[in-house]
Amino acid sequence: MSRIGKLPIEIPSGVTITVDSDVINVEGPKGKLVVPHLSDVTVALEDGSAVVTRKSDEKVSKSQHGLQRALLNNAVVGVTQGFEKKLEVNGVGFRVAGGGQEIEMQLGFSHPVKYTAQDGVTLTVNKMEIVVNGIDKQAVGQVAAEIRALKKPEPYKGKGIKYSDEVILRKAGKAGK
């Protein structure tokens, strides 16, 4: 039995889940998300919780069991609390401006770098920190990864864009004579 898949998902008040043959709709106070309904598992709603069970003990069913539960749980958390990733910009002369869907950054290139986030994701700028918010966990992580990829942190001075909880392993510079 899947350790993750067997756990029931508590459905908070204000969240409605409708299960169809190919998709699962999750609607809550922050918005609406659509989760694909995988073929080898069933989702049952009972007593204010959702339970995911698999149809057989084949390898595909076992792998889809935990995946379906994780996707559904992320959707429930997303429509109630939302998701957030924080990025830090480090470097002399580096600047960040903007907010909402679009930000503009000076990252040491000869031109300013503009980034536009996908729908459902908002960007907030606090001095040298970028906060990515949204209800879809995958979209928030994707936007954060794309912003970080614009100027990855380098190991000598730590300049670049990094996650706020990321630790950059520093290297020693040239050894002088």
27-62, pLDDT tens digit by residue? 999 999 999 999 899 999 988 899 999 999 899 998
User: Topology of domain 9-80, per CATH?
Assistant: Outer Surface Protein A; domain 3 (3.90.930)
Burial class (CB in 10 A: 0-12, 13-18, 19+), 127: exposed
82-96, pLDDT tens digit by residue? 999 999 999 999 999
Distance CA 16, CA 33 (A): 11
Class at the top of the CATH hierarchy for domain 83-163: alpha beta
- Domain ranges, ordered by start, for the chain: 9-80, 83-163
Distance CA 86, CA 99 (A): 14
Q: Is 0.85 surpassed by the pTM of this model?
A: yes
